[in-house]
Chain A
């Protein structure tokens, strides 16, 4: 097989291999090295996805189809990578890498469980982006879901179990909705392959609307919205994020809601292009999420809850970008997926640092920590400015693209609201920054030390990535222009 084939296959194989290795080797040794192995696998994923991306473009292919082990029949390659899915896989690798770095510091017990579950999660997510039919998408979605809530509940804290339970129930609702939707579509078309589904299934031969197909769409949208954390389906998100260990929160917020939720929406809008109802629904979900998330974040006092509501708000932006249906919007969405991964991970890395050093995540108890923990403080500022969309940080570009896409589509009011909500974003972030890092240092923290080791390393890498991505973003846009995509 060619190099492309090897790499494509490795996306599914590497996590499995890691799981096998870890569970086969001697327990004590495994405990020491497992997370490092997880890091390694993440790095491999990042590298391979980049390589595959450039190979794909070099060969002028839009998509590369492949099979895993055997062919059921001819022309039945079930998996395919496109440039878009490769970018998503790069994000998956990146966030897993950061999560593993944090885990090196924050997770002391049950390391092997963590790594197993992490690998399963990665497997699930990778699978989601390379399948070519809806049912397989659903299967891998379930894998992702199950891994997530076990991860949340891993340390059996009271809040952890509560959060996991809520997520489980909401996820069950989502699964129910998605499955029903899929079955309706199956009833309609007899196949769930991407190639066989399109806007045509919405209209019967005589030109009237097919209610079943529309209902299927409704259910699919609702189900995926639960997974994304869009308002009003978002309620599980803060509880889940707050109660999980920080390394898990990074995964959840950084990539799971995006792959499980946003990528599914991308698939949906890709299949059902130019259906106005979908676009409108997404737009309304988006606006509601932006505003509700930001308003709710304003009154939280737990660091991770603020971050969780912030995620809800940012998912709203992404949904808005998707609702335009244009290429510009899609590019903005992918860019925002990546940027959100970076700044959310930064935020949670800081949360980990703060928790490690101060023992609490209640922002009312903190204050003036900038002087004692400068690296954490600065990376928080970088994350804040990126989220608020301030140049030259990366978040500015993705927000700009989304707003431009909205404007080009004539949705001027929505663009205005999105722009205006940046103020709300800045407000809750500024509140966070002020309460935690600026202000007066309480006496009990007077000899606090900065976090060291892998967490600090993660913070620094993330800050560098945020700034570098912001500065070099125009290069990426030029590249896309060269490829003819923009």
Chain B
């Protein structure tokens, strides 16, 4: 049956209708479902299931290529269904199903639910389009379409204070503009906008600029430095399903898909070259900055947002090595990351629903009352920290392997990141789940606007979340275990064939030294956590000794104030520029309003003194006039 579906999609422009337009139609239907939870659930599940079905059929079939002439030459809608793009398509569709289910359940009873589902569905439509596009221009169109849905989702419930939405739009938009510039240069250099027809371009000169721009645009979408500062702010403002879907899952797919494409198909990145080092440096920096900021957060969602940023750094580092092991590691890490990161966000959402807040200072000891949530958290936490035999360990090892082969500095940086990740999760896990039950007291419910509470903070009533939310959570926890224990399937059957690599990277990592070092780092992290929590007295403050260490304290303070935020720099420059323009404008206005008028009036006043009614003056002027004419006659 799947092959029938895929051949159906192959005919004509059906692929566009059914992979791109259909989700949008479902989204519109979901919008109008209003308060009817059941209808919305059905529509969303149906949409996601259909999408998944189509994606799977495309993956399991032969590759094919569809061209639909659209605009003038250069902008044909060229869709390339090959193993690589179809694999990502399937990943995205699976993730979309899980997130849809979770979102509908989470936003049950909220007025904004329909709008949210609309944006989510349109987003998947755009993502499908971007993943399928072979023409870089059309891909850009779909890519930028996500800006609208991003902005829309952040505006839900935040109309009066759209700070986070504007920041997201500006940063994401700038990344997209860089991508546009990169695409223009690339297309110009390559002579064709079709990726499948491109020869690998060398990364020098103008093409180098194109490479840099495109990479920045791609990884910026995924959430890497320097376009990352909107994610923590969004963590405060947006509904949690947004966090689970976007920074957790969908943007990563898109960003890493393009990044790998750039490195393998479009540009010829050599391991050890300057560009490669630059990309790796960016990745390492992202890892460290992300997790350093995460360490000091006290709010669960913000903390997880910073971790999401940090994890992207691993992917970028892996891809930047330009070694097959690195690239495979990067993609595998992305796959794992979507699973455990989204799961973590969902646990945060679950806690939020039940207690009304995700502030770690106000809650604690929830393990007894929310066992399933706690279990999912533990599984995902272990995966993200890189503990064997969970999936995160294996993907991290691949990335470490590649990093070590390139340069030991980057390896050290990645290890530092792993250390801090582990510390951070130990702190968060113990603070939220272990110990005595602690609930926010006398708190006004509805910290996030629009989220209403039906329950009082009473230990009798804090219970596990509903089935609808638990199901997606558990479904996402499963890959963390599965891809770790049985990593042959994803690595050798999925990813490697898609990239046409033949070496097998599955199974236990080859280098025992690497494994040993990683385990040592993990142990160090545990020790540090115990030391920290003993020193400060509670789990929540277990990282304070790092936070308030001599030099780090100042850096952290500056970061909290926003000194390192490129968005703030940009806004300051924009402000200065507009002040300059205003200054010039005032100058011009002064000239027209004050100077010119004053000159005319002054001249008039001057002449008036001569014309004052005295007849003798008139006669004198007349005689003087005769004299002037004499002079003229003499001169000519």
A221 B629 Cβ-Cβ under 8 A: yes
Residues of chain A from 214 to 231 with CB closer than 8 A to chain B in the complex: 214, 217-219, 221-222, 225-226, 231
As a 0/1 sequence over residues 215 to 249 of chain A, the CB contacts with chain B under 8 angstroms (1 = contact) are 00111011001100001110110110000000000
A222 B622 Cβ-Cβ under 8 A: yes
B626 A218 Cβ-Cβ under 8 A: yes
As a 0/1 sequence over residues 615 to 636 of chain B, the CB contacts with chain A under 8 angstroms (1 = contact) are 1011101101110111011011
Of A169, A226, A295, the residue contacting B607 (CB under 8 A) is: A295
What 16 new A-B contacts, CB under 8 Å, besides A165-B615, A235-B611? A166-B615, A169-B619, A173-B622, A218-B626, A221-B629, A222-B625, A233-B622, A235-B617, A236-B618, A238-B611, A281-B629, A281-B633, A284-B632, A298-B601, A299-B608, A427-B600
A296 B608 Cβ-Cβ under 8 A: yes
Q: Which residues of B contact A238 (CB under 8 A)?
A: 611
Q: Is B604 an interface residue (CB 8 A)?
A: yes
Residues of chain B from 215 to 241 with CB closer than 8 A to chain A in the complex: none
Q: Take A177-B626, A221-B629 as given contacts and tell me if A233 and B636 are in contact as well, using a CB distance cutoff of 8 Å.
A: no
Q: Which residues of A contact B603 (CB under 8 A)?
A: 295
Q: Which residues of B contact A296 (CB under 8 A)?
A: 604, 607-608, 611
How far, in angstroms, from A427 to B592 measured CA to CA in the complex?
13
Residue of A nearest to B615 (CB): A166
B633 A299 Cβ-Cβ under 8 A: no
Q: Chain A nearest CB: distance from B593 CB in Å?
A: 13
Q: Is A292 an interface residue (CB 8 A)?
A: yes
A-B contact pairs, 28 of them (CB 8 A): A166-B615, A169-B618, A170-B618, A170-B622, A214-B633, A217-B633, A218-B626, A218-B633, A221-B629, A222-B622, A222-B625, A222-B626, A222-B629, A225-B629, A226-B622, A232-B621, A232-B625, A235-B622, A238-B611, A239-B613, A280-B632, A281-B632, A296-B604, A296-B607, A297-B604, A298-B601, A299-B601, A299-B605
How far, in angstroms, from A424 to B608 measured CA to CA in the complex?
16
How far, in angstroms, from A276 to B636 measured CA to CA in the complex?
7
Residue of B nearest to A219 (CB): B626
Q: Chain B nearest CB: distance from A47 CB in Å?
A: 39
Q: Is A21 an interface residue (CB 8 A)?
A: no
How far, in angstroms, from A222 to B630 measured CA to CA in the complex?
10
Q: Chain B nearest CB: distance from A405 CB in Å?
A: 20
Of A232, A285, A299, the residue contacting B622 (CB under 8 A) is: A232
Residues of chain B from 12 to 58 with CB closer than 8 A to chain A in the complex: none
How far, in angstroms, from A398 to B632 measured CA to CA in the complex?
28
Of B611, B617, B618, B632, the residue contacting A277 (CB under 8 A) is: B632
B600 A298 Cβ-Cβ under 8 A: yes
B619 A225 Cβ-Cβ under 8 A: no
Q: Which residues of B contact A297 (CB under 8 A)?
A: 604
How far, in angstroms, from A233 to B617 measured CA to CA in the complex?
11
Q: Which residues of B contact A239 (CB under 8 A)?
A: 613
Q: Chain A nearest CB: distance from B118 CB in Å?
A: 53
Chain B interface residue count, Cβ-Cβ cutoff 8 angstroms: 25
B605 A169 Cβ-Cβ under 8 A: no
Q: Which residues of A line the B interface, CB within 8 A?
A: 165-166, 169-170, 173, 177, 214, 217-219, 221-222, 225-226, 231-233, 235-236, 238-239, 276-277, 280-281, 284-285, 292, 295-299, 424, 427
B629 A218 Cβ-Cβ under 8 A: yes
Which 10 A-B residue pairs are closest in the complex by CB-CB distance? A235-B618, A295-B604, A277-B636, A232-B625, A232-B621, A222-B626, A298-B604, A299-B604, A277-B633, A281-B632
Q: Take A169-B619, A298-B601 as given contacts and tell me if A233 and B625 are in contact as well, using a CB distance cutoff of 8 Å.
A: yes
How far, in angstroms, from A217 to B630 measured CA to CA in the complex?
10
Select the residue from A169, A284, A296 with max chain B CB neighbours within 10 A. A296
B636 A170 Cβ-Cβ under 8 A: no
Residue of A nearest to B613 (CB): A239
Residue of A nearest to B621 (CB): A232
A169 B615 Cβ-Cβ under 8 A: yes
Q: Which residues of A contact B628 (CB under 8 A)?
A: 232, 284
Residue of B nearest to A222 (CB): B626
Q: Chain A nearest CB: distance from B187 CB in Å?
A: 49
How far, in angstroms, from A169 to B622 measured CA to CA in the complex?
11
Residue of B nearest to A223 (CB): B626
How far, in angstroms, from A297 to B601 measured CA to CA in the complex?
10
Q: Chain A nearest CB: distance from B635 CB in Å?
A: 8
Q: Chain B nearest CB: distance from A289 CB in Å?
A: 11
Q: Which residues of B contact A217 (CB under 8 A)?
A: 633
How far, in angstroms, from A225 to B626 measured CA to CA in the complex?
10
Of B618, B626, B636, the residue contacting A166 (CB under 8 A) is: B618
Residue of A nearest to B636 (CB): A277
How far, in angstroms, from A240 to B431 measured CA to CA in the complex?
99
How far, in angstroms, from A366 to B636 measured CA to CA in the complex?
49
Residues of chain B from 506 to 551 with CB closer than 8 A to chain A in the complex: none
Residue of B nearest to A283 (CB): B632
Q: Which residues of A contact B622 (CB under 8 A)?
A: 170, 173, 222, 226, 232-233, 235
